[in-house]
Amino acid sequence: MNALVLEDVKKLELRDIPKPVVGEKDVLIRVGAVGICGTDLHIFLGLANYNRDSRGQAIPLKQSPQILGHEFCGTVESVGDTVTKVRPGDRVVVDQLLNCWSQERSPKCEYCESGDSHECEFGNQLGITGPPGAFADYIAVPAVNVVPLPPTMTDLEAAIIEPLACVIHASDRMESAHNRYTFSGHYKIRHILILGAGPSGLLFVQYLRNVRKFDGEIFIADMRESKLNVAKKLGATPLDVRHVDLISEIQTRTHGARLQYVIEATGSGPVFDWIPSIVRPQATVLLYGGGHSGRDIGCLTPFQVLENVLVTSGGASGGFDADGTPTIYRVSMEYLRDGKFDAARLVSHQYSTLAQIPRAFSEDATQQDFIKGVLVRE
């Protein structure tokens, strides 16, 4: 079968590799659609490597090449002897984390037992930590990791289920924290700022408007006009930081009250210079973006002084249904099925073949009009 293999930093090669072997409890999936995630881009560019050895040291791509792609759906090609959950021909989305449930570990680790499976002590992530991802013709996964898709859902929509599940998980973590400002308590959230109008930022806007039913003002800051235009259509107030002073703008627009809730979805270190000046004491700051290079840890001192609630999130977990189905993936799928999210607005670039993906990583992703790319197989 064909697969796109990352053989070294910035070196994607289309290769003919063996078709996956299907175990008795696995399903073989013919890949239908795969989203390009910021994590994929970080690995491609050499900014991150999550494939670690037993000592926690990164394994070079030259030594252990990676097939990327963890936001994906497809059609069941065949099933193992004991699989009854799905059958050939069913369309499914996949939880990319191989956790204790996937591996049938007993007893479960404390994170899987408590519903926080993304932190599984023994977990592996398809397309991220070594196991092959979905930039290939086929992929084999444990049957427990799949969620059947409704017939009305397109492959493009299904490719957004994983990133939406991450946003839902992050929002759940925020709401379960000990926050002064909440959506329904005595001290209400009235102004929200989302830093970054990329795919995650745009999903947060839709979550707040369509799931949380938040009717206050949602500011969203970015440097790309194409992203801000989409954000405005989704119900946010765009702030182009190339042309406005963010601190002054927030002070003016909130009449000096500042913000009760900030979602950091850029992964850019310099935003930490802005946040302390635009939030109220004991406001909540959700750190969602990854990276944050270019700033010393001393930049966190103002957050300590303000006693801000810092909430972090790095994946999608939230317990399991009775049959082991990952609940948060099912919920994410249902939100998309019910029209609460517009997946198409996030997708600026669509591809139809694996051969087009190297260009997506090396060229398209650097363009001003790039928001999110998705491979939808013909």
- Give the pLDDT score at 3: 98
Whether residue 146 sits in one domain with residue 6: yes
Q: What is the CATH number of the domain that holds 106?
A: 3.90.180.10
pLDDT in tens, 101-135: 999 999 999 999 999 999 999 999 999 999 999 99
Active site residue 39: yes
Q: Is the pLDDT of residue 322 over 90?
A: no
Range with the poorest average pLDDT among 40-44, 229-233, 241-245, 296-300 = 296-300
- Give the pLDDT score at 127: 97
Question: What's the average model confidence in pLDDT over 307-312?
Answer: 95
Distance CA 71, CA 333 (A): 13
Residue 209 belongs to domain spanning: 166-312
Whether residue 10 sits in one domain with residue 149: yes
Q: Are 120 and 103 in contact (CB under 8 A)?
A: no
Distance CA 340, CA 338 (A): 6
CA angle 310, 36, 356 (to 5 degrees): 160
Nearest Cα to 317, choosing from 39, 136, 141, 101? 101
Amino acid at 189: I
- Give the pLDDT score at 225: 94
pLDDT in tens, 139-179: 999 999 999 999 999 999 999 999 999 999 999 999 999 99
289, 312, 335 - which closes a domain? 312
Distance CA 14, CA 258 (A): 51
From residue 62, give the alpha-carbon distance in Å to each of 10, 65, 360. 12, 6, 22
- Give the pLDDT score at 378: 81
In a domain, 341, yes or no: no
pLDDT in tens, 14-29: 999 999 999 999 999 9
Whether residue 152 sits in one domain with residue 176: no
Range with the poorest average pLDDT among 134-138, 292-296, 330-334 = 292-296
Residue among 39, 129, 254, 266 flagged as catalytic: 39
pLDDT in tens, 68-97: 999 999 999 999 999 999 999 999 999 999
- Label the pairing between strands 124-125 and 97-98: antiparallel
What mean pLDDT is reported for the chain? 95
Whether residue 81 sits in one domain with residue 38: yes
Question: What's the average model confidence in pLDDT over 219-241?
Answer: 97
Q: Is the pLDDT of residue 342 over 90?
A: yes
Q: What is the CATH number of the domain that holds 246?
A: 3.40.50.720
Please, which residues bridge with residue 376 across strands? 33
Whether residue 108 sits in one domain with residue 34: yes
From residue 241, give the alpha-carbon distance in Å to each of 215, 222, 245, 298. 24, 6, 6, 24
Whether residue 89 sits in one domain with residue 67: yes
Question: What's the average model confidence in pLDDT over 48-73?
Answer: 96
**pLDDT band at 252; cut points 50, 70, 90:** very high
- Give the pLDDT score at 153: 97
Residue among 42, 154, 237, 292 flagged as catalytic: 42
